[in-house]
Amino acid sequence: MVAFNAGAGSGTFKGIFLQSVGNISNKFDTEFTPAGWTFALNWNTIFIWQFLWFGYSLSGLCRRNENGWMYMKPDLLPIWFYIVWMLNNALNIGWLFLWDREYIIPALVFLAFIAFTNYCVLIISYRALYINGMWLQKSKKVDLWLIRIFVQNGIAIYATWTTIATLLNFAVVLTYSGDVSNATSTTAALAILALELVLWFILENFAFDEYVRYTLTVYPVVICALSGSLNKHFVSSDPGRNNIFLAVLLAVACAAFLIRLILVLWRHFKRPLYKSQVLTGPENSY
């Protein structure tokens, strides 16, 4: 997956891809499309973080605990985690070919499923860590934090970016296949992003805190994407509707991130997830 994305992005695989991803994005430009540096920064971050969590998962083949090999007990990365992840990779490669051939509607469907499978992988990881969190806190605290930092925050970056990319593709389809004006398509995409941002803030802080407390990479990705959009499209002398929408949404994302950090720090010290309880062995997640 990494090799295909690198080749498609750089135009290296000329025998496989007809054009680079960036050239197609420029062709199907919207008022939401970020500057080129945004794509490079986010994808490079995604790939680096994926290598980190994959390296961590492989380390379980070489480490043991009192219950056996780490890759088996505790069951932190269940078999379904890897199955869904492989499906995600296949969808990603498929999207590259669809986008390269400018099949923008099928590409939108594939990208939506890429984001969805990222959510599924995260849910599997959150559930597995929730089941075994107390045991890890007592016996393997380093692994507890490595799962949170490498696996969950890494995949959250990927999930957030593919969610935003889905909205970008949605705006492209509306504009270039649905004969909707560029401005209206962008407004629709930004409105959906704003709704998702508010919904996620509510869910992570008040509904699923015990699962997602230490996932903090969602807002930086949103901030980066919106900053890239403003960097490319903002006209200070005559800001349009979407310029203002982008600026307001960026301010909201920054404020939400700050509040989130404060809440996580306060809860970490005042309301720890794992208090003194009777220690039990690790369990199977599935």
Which residue bears the tokens 């509510």? 202
Q: Which residues pair with 64 in a beta bridge?
A: 69
Q: What is the pLDDT of residue 276?
A: 56
Q: What is the pLDDT of residue 9?
A: 54
Reduced to 3 states, what is the DSSP secondary structure of residue 68? strand
Q: What is the pLDDT of residue 61?
A: 82
Q: What is the pLDDT of residue 278?
A: 46
Distance CA 152, CA 165 (A): 20
In tens digits, the chain (286 residues) has pLDDT values of: 565 565 555 555 566 777 877 788 888 989 999 999 999 999 999 999 999 999 988 887 877 776 666 776 778 889 999 999 999 999 999 999 999 999 999 999 999 999 999 999 999 999 999 998 888 888 888 989 999 999 999 999 999 999 999 999 999 999 999 989 999 999 999 999 999 999 999 999 999 999 999 999 999 999 999 999 999 988 877 788 999 999 999 999 999 999 999 999 999 999 998 875 444 555 555 4
Q: What is the pLDDT of residue 12?
A: 59
Q: What is the pLDDT of residue 62?
A: 77
- Helix ranges (H only) for the chain are 2-10, 21-27, 36-59, 79-100, 104-139, 141-146, 153-176, 182-206, 209-212, 218-233, 241-270
